[in-house]
Amino acid sequence: MDQQLNPRYIHYKALSGALSLIFIAIILSVSSVASLVGGAASAGVVFLLIAFVALVVGFGLSYLVAFLDYKNYRYGITDEGFRKQYGILNLRNTMIPYEKIQNVDIRRPLFMRLFGLSALHIQTAGGSSFATVSEGGLPGLDPQVAETLQADLIARSKQARA
């Protein structure tokens, strides 16, 4: 398992996680402006201070979690199948034999495209086609790496079932 996700994944994951914090900070800021306009200046300042602290701490934690996720995410192609290792507190190892691979999809949602990233999803035999998270998903790959990996996994899967 010598491959790692694209380093831009750190920014993508951190900002994805921080979007809810931005929403909370906007609500607190609106509350503070309403308090300032309503004459309660001290409450308005407190709301603004809380909003600022929430944003700073939230972004810091978001980047820390994203960095740790990136550092622990490894994947690779072995003779037996596709293997990945991931997790922050709970390190998990997943092995998918080639003969179980049914399909390999590449997804590029808008926010991911803004960072120049792609997600690879491996669907396996016996897995649900309605699953939102695939067993062999890789969330932050360079588009060319995702396409190369997709072609390689499909070819190895066909060869294993032949």
Kindly report, residue by residue over 68-87, the tens digit of the pLDDT.
999 999 999 999 999 999 99
Run of H or E residues at 150: helix 143-161
What pLDDT is stored for residue 26 in this prediction?
A: 73
Domain regions of the chain by residue span:
3-71, 78-161
Chain centroid, CA 121 distance in Å = 13
Q: Is the pTM of this model over 0.95?
A: no
- 34 pLDDT band (50/70/90 cuts)? low
CATH of domain 78-161: 2.30.29
- Cα-flanking dihedrals φ and ψ of residue 4, to 5°? -130, 155
- 150 and 138 Cβ atoms separated by less than 8 Å: no
